[in-house]
Amino acid sequence: RSFPILTSRMAVKLRTAITLLCVTTIGLVVLRLASLDCSGYLQLWDQSFFACASDGNDNVLFVRRLNRSIEPFLSAKTKLSEETFNWWKIEQRNFTFYKATVSKLFEIFPPVIDLGKACSARCRTCAVVGNSVNLKGSSYGRLIDYQDIVIRMNFAPVKGYEKDVGTKTTYRVMYPESAMDLDNSTHLVLFPFKIQDLDWLIKAFTTGFSGRSYAPLKSKIKANKDLVKVINPAFMKYSHKVWLEGKGTYPSTGFMTLILALHVCDEVHVFGYGADSDGNWSHYFEVLTNKNLKTGPHPGNHEYNILQQLANEKTVQLYKGM
């Protein structure tokens, strides 16, 4: 069987066609990568880690302790038991006063919680970003920003640390003593440890708060009132009694935020948790001066052991940093 002989002109045309085909293919790949939703980078990073739903038989700790009937957020319909109220309160104010305060709360803030839609059609991915010094030099910023939801805590700064901690913030978890102003697109998530914290939230958005606490309090706060969420005291009790088995005086904000993520996310990626190499619980944005810094009333080592077990069982992915 004979084949036609390529002339130099035909060869040039063939090379041109092949080049155009390659350029087109590469262009389509680039466009595909550029059009990936906010979880796309994660899917390329480690596509096999999650099955999205974490309720499998291998996730022993998760299956035994997760209780989806516990509402993470307060709403106008939440029925808090007086028993749970008595566990939660640290003030002399009674249950009737609590209910009246919650009623005022939902005159200002959304009475029904809307978590919104995940960017991914398949899973809602979350980055839970703690404040540990092990984030320094980690270069995790890009990976953090590619999650659907990025949850940050207290007044931890972003500016100046973008390479390691990212730039995106979806939820900012705080309590009054750790409050900061937010932009109009960030959800304020309040962890209330007492009725005064609920009162602070109401007045910080209205008349201004004038009460006192163990640390200075912002009288007013800048944030989008339509994006405010308040953690249910029953969820705080559940985090302590079920997940921590009652160890410590109460859970840390970081630990309760981790449990919150297990309830609202399909895939949980955890950054910035744990002590430094010397066992100090220092922050990425501070210079450590107290070499004996520990976790106060929080059972820090026990909390971290639970996180490590969740990571070992592939319920969460833990990024340990530097």
CATH of the domain at 205: 3.90.1480.20
Residues 13 and 162 in one domain: no
What is the bridge-based pairing of β-strands 125-129 and 267-271?
A: parallel
Confidence grade of residue 51 (pLDDT, cut at 50, 70, 90) = very low
Does residue 72 lie within any of the structural domains? yes
Rounded distance between C-alpha atoms, residue 190 and residue 173, angstroms? 6
Q: Is 298 one of the catalytic residues? A: yes
Rounded distance between C-alpha atoms, residue 221 and residue 179, angstroms? 8
**Separation of first and last alpha carbons in the chain:** 65
Residues 197 and 226 in one domain: yes
Torsion of CA 308, 266, 284, 44, to 10 degrees: 100
275 or 313, which is more confident: 313
Give every strand in the sheet of 125-129, ordered side by side.
Answer: 228-230, 187-190, 171-174, 149-153, 125-129, 267-271, 317-319
283 DSSP assignment: B
Does residue 2 lie within any of the structural domains? no
Give phi and psi for 161, each to the nearest 5. Answer: -125, 20
Span 101-155, pLDDT tens digits: 999 999 999 998 776 555 555 689 999 999 999 899 999 999 999 999 999 999 9
Rounded distance between C-alpha atoms, residue 168 and residue 152, angstroms? 9
Does residue 167 lie within any of the structural domains? yes
Confidence grade of residue 31 (pLDDT, cut at 50, 70, 90) = very low
- Residue 176, Cβ density class (10 Å: 0-12 exposed, 13-18 middle, ≥19 buried): buried
- Overall average pLDDT of the 263-285 stretch: 86
Nearest to 119 by CA among 84, 92, 149: 149
Residue with token string 């100046």: 160
Residues 31 and 107 in one domain: no
Rounded distance between C-alpha atoms, residue 243 and residue 163, angstroms? 33
Nearest to 307 by CA among 257, 237, 250: 257
Confidence grade of residue 50 (pLDDT, cut at 50, 70, 90) = very low
Among candidate residues 250, 273, 284, 319, the one labeled active-site is 250
Residues 30 and 130 in one domain: no
Does residue 289 lie within any of the structural domains? yes
Among candidate residues 187, 269, 283, 298, the one labeled active-site is 298
Residues 30 and 46 in one domain: no
Helix 95-108, helix 195-204: angle, nearest 10: 30
Give the count of alpha carbons within 13 A of 60, CB side only. Answer: 5
Tokens of 237: 């009790």
Residues 86 and 23 in one domain: no
**Distance of CA 80 to CAs 113, 137, 241, 272, Å?**
16, 44, 16, 33
Confidence grade of residue 286 (pLDDT, cut at 50, 70, 90) = confident
Residues 55 and 187 in one domain: yes
Nearest to 136 by CA among 255, 258, 271, 269: 271
Nearest to 72 by CA among 298, 269, 259, 267: 259
Residues 160 and 21 in one domain: no
- Overall average pLDDT of the 249-275 stretch: 94
Domain total in the chain: 2
**Distance of CA 78 to CAs 74, 99, 110, 173, Å?**
6, 10, 13, 20
Beta bridge partners of 271: 129, 319
Percent of the chain, pLDDT > 90? Answer: 65
Residues 193 and 84 in one domain: yes
**What is the identity of the amino acid at 43?**
Q
Does residue 1 lie within any of the structural domains? no
pLDDT at 15 over 70: no
Domain span at 22:
8-35
Does residue 3 lie within any of the structural domains? no
Confidence grade of residue 33 (pLDDT, cut at 50, 70, 90) = very low
Residues 31 and 123 in one domain: no
Residue 26 has a pLDDT of 38
Does residue 47 lie within any of the structural domains? yes
Q: Is 283 one of the catalytic residues? A: no
Confidence grade of residue 16 (pLDDT, cut at 50, 70, 90) = low
Residues 121 and 216 in one domain: yes
